[in-house]
């Protein structure tokens, strides 16, 4: 019988003097709550509970936590590594070369009959959502790369005036369906109207805002058209040789950026959150072609009735996406009380306080102020990240800010990779110093 060597477990230990009190990252990854933090922000590891999963060892930014092995365990580990390498060698498969012939993607499949880039102009009470104009700017680049027209389409009642706005933001054509059943957004009539338009004119790309309304419509339309939809894209480009839309978005919990293609179906559909892409300049004199499309649907055929519109917008609630200056705090702030320091800085510079998901999960700020993948995407003129490590899920929500200042005591923190100005140091020394300097200078911040 072959003796399989066991991997020794060892013990998880804190190495004296190496912890930088990064904000309890080790504690946050521990799946069995075996780590408590002391007053200095250093971990106390309970080896009775610890299952030696080594997550804290990998997470520690200063290599302060080790998986300690006794001399005997070290010998066992060497035997184990040798055995593992030999097994891997035996098991390694011969490289295979696969040639995938996508039979459907030929001239006969009809996908080359689809032409043009379309943007859905979401509107409520005749006022367009800004994301439509942001998408027209991106749509223009895509249409230019494909050498096709850029069109906008608007659904609603009394919405023709939006055509001029769409032209000003870059549309060559605007399709309008003006109909009483489209007065308020309801999935069924909006899907029907969109699908009819798309089947008639066959655009190769459709872009929609990833708002509540846009998400609902895009998903239902893609299902009806039996095509692909990539939600919450952060990047859109064209593979000019294949005429394919390259749709980039965070995947696997934000750990990778995936580029997704809709190779065999048309239209290629993508949604993008507001504020992810910049608007282009509005040119009032720009004009284009308006196409009024008809639509026959009787109100009696629609199951959903709108009885009353009740706005959910809480007037007292701050909208961080509209703020030009954001002072954002993370786990490094260590408690709710310390967020007062950020409020002071925000007041000094005329900004608004936001934060990472850790700050929200800890109850230090409210969820509507969260920046990132599961929070808001922001595009302020100035973003000051205080005690935020810069996890990819946070970066995707703020990396397009015009100017980013990061303050962090860990010089290897990923936030510095997107920062225009990085300050390595303790927030509790740096922020008061900045506030003092601003207050002393009597400077006026022009936003
Ligand atoms: C599916 C999914 C979605 C997610 N969505 C989001 C999201 O929308 N937004 C988001 O933010 N996160 C999101 N996360 C969580 C994300 O992965 C990170 O866990 C989170 O962003 C970490 O927050 P943080 O940077 O505040 O904390 P940490 O990563 O713990 O960083 C704290 C930082 O503070 C620094 N620090 C500590 N003390 C000081 C001090 N005194 N002075 C200076 N620096 C100090 C440390 O060096 C460290 O870099 C998501 C995760 C998943 C899996």
Task: Quickly state the pLDDT bin for 95 (edges 50, 70, 90).
Answer: very low
| φ, ψ dihedrals at 378, nearest 5° | -120, 155
pLDDT of residue 88: 66
Q: Is 387 in the pocket of ligand 1 (CB under 6 A)?
A: yes
CA 444 to chain centre: 33
Distance 312 CA to ligand 1 centre (A): 29
Question: Minimal CA–CA distance to 272: which of 327, 195, 204, 205?
Answer: 205
Name the percent of the chain lying above pLDDT 70.
91
**Residue nearest atom 29 in ligand 1 by C-alpha distance:** 389
Distance 66 CA to ligand 1 centre (A): 22
| φ, ψ dihedrals at 270, nearest 5° | -140, 145
Task: Quickly state the pLDDT bin for 100 (edges 50, 70, 90).
Answer: very low
Distance 389 CA to ligand 1 centre (A): 5
pLDDT of residue 9: 87
Name the token pair of 400. 């397009």
Task: Quickly state the pLDDT bin for 160 (edges 50, 70, 90).
Answer: very high
Check pLDDT > 80 for residue 254. Answer: no
Asked if 390 and 414 touch (Cβ cutoff 8 Å), the reply is: yes
pLDDT of residue 441: 81
CA 219, CA 56: separation in Å to the nearest integer?
39
Check pLDDT > 90 for residue 209. Answer: yes
CA distances from 430 to 20, 313, 341, 424, 433 (A): 17, 36, 11, 9, 5
CA 112, CA 91: separation in Å to the nearest integer?
44
CA 409, CA 159: separation in Å to the nearest integer?
53
| Domains by residue range for the chain, with CATH | 11-89 (3.30.70.20), 114-300 (3.40.50.620), 320-441 (3.40.50.1220)
**SS3 call for 363:** coil
Span 78-107, average pLDDT: 57
Check pLDDT > 70 for residue 90. Answer: no
Task: Quickly state the pLDDT bin for 127 (edges 50, 70, 90).
Answer: very high
Q: Is 409 in the pocket of ligand 1 (CB under 6 A)?
A: yes
In the 8-state DSSP scheme, what is residue 230? E
Distance 416 CA to ligand 1 centre (A): 13
Q: Is 391 in the pocket of ligand 1 (CB under 6 A)?
A: yes
| φ, ψ dihedrals at 192, nearest 5° | -60, -45
Q: Is 355 in the pocket of ligand 1 (CB under 6 A)?
A: no
Q: Is 203 in the pocket of ligand 1 (CB under 6 A)?
A: no
**SS3 call for 11:** strand
Question: pTM of the full predicted structure?
Answer: 0.62
For the segment 277-298, what is each residue's pLDDT rounded down to a tens digit?
989 999 999 999 999 998 888 8
Name the token pair of 436. 């003092």
Span 138-143, average pLDDT: 97
Report the sign of the C-alpha dihedral through residues 330, 336, 341, 342, in that order: positive
Query: Which residue shows structure tokens 């409210």?
Result: 366
Number of C-beta neighbours around residue 365 at 10 A: 21
Cis peptide before 267 (omega within 30 of 0): yes
Span 162-180, average pLDDT: 97
For the segment 316-325, what is each residue's pLDDT rounded down to a tens digit?
578 898 899 9
Q: What is the mean pLDDT of the chain?
A: 89
Report the sign of the C-alpha dihedral through residues 75, 77, 83, 89, in that order: negative
């Amino acid at each position: 019988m072959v003796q399989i060597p066991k991997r020794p477990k060892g013990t998880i230990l804190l190495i004296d003097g190496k912890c930088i009190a990064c904000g309890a990252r080790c504690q946050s990854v521990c799946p069995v709550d075996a780590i408590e933090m002391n007053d200095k922000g250093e971990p106390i590891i309970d080896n009775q509970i610890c299952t030696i999963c080594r997550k804290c060892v990998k997470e520690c930014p200063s290599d302060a936590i080790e998986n300690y092995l006794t001399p005997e365990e070290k010998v066992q580990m060497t035997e184990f590594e040798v055995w593992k390498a030999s097994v891997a060698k035996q098991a390694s498969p011969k490289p295979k070369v696969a040639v995938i012939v996508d039979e459907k993607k030929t001239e006969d499949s009809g996908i080359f009959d689809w032409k043009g880039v379309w943007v859905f102009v979401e509107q409520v009470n005749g006022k367009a959502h800004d994301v439509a104009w942001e998408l027209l700017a991106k749509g223009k680049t895509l249409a230019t790369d494909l050498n096709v027209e850029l069109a906008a389409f608007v659904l609603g009642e009394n919405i023709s005036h939006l055509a001029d706005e769409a032209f000003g933001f870059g549309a060559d054509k605007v399709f309008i369906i003006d109909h009483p059943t489209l007065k308020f957004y309801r999935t069924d009539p909006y899907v029907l109207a969109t699908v009819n338009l798309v089947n008639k004119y066959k655009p190769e790309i459709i872009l929609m805002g990833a708002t509540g309304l846009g998400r609902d419509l895009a998903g239902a339309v893609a299902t009806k058209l039996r095509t692909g939809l990539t939600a919450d894209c952060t990047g859109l480009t064209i593979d000019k040789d294949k005429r394919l839309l390259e749709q980039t978005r965070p995947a696997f919990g934000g750990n990778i950026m995936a580029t997704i293609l809709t190779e065999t179906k048309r239209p290629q559909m993508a949604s993008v959150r507001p504020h992810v892409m910049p608007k282009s300049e509005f040119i009032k004199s720009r004009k284009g072609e308006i196409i009024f499309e008809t639509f026959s649907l009787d109100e009696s055929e629609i199951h959903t009735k709108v009885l009353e519109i009740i706005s959910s917008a809480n007037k007292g609630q701050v909208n961080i996406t509209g703020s030009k200056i954001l002072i954002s705090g993370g786990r490094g702030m260590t408690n709710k009380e310390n967020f007062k320091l950020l409020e002071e800085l925000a007041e000094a510079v005329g900004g608004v306080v936001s934060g990472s998901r850790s700050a929200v999960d800890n109850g230090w700020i409210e969820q509507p102020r969260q920046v990132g993948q599961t929070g808001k995407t922001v595009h302020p003129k100035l973003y000051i990240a205080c005690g935020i490590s810069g996890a990819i899920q946070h970066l995707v929500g703020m990396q397009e800010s015009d100017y980013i200042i990061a303050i962090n005591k860990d010089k290897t923190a990923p936030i510095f990779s997107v920062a225009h100005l990085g300050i390595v140091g303790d927030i509790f020394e740096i922020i008061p110093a900045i506030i003092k300097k601003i207050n002393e200078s009597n400077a006026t911040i022009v936003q």
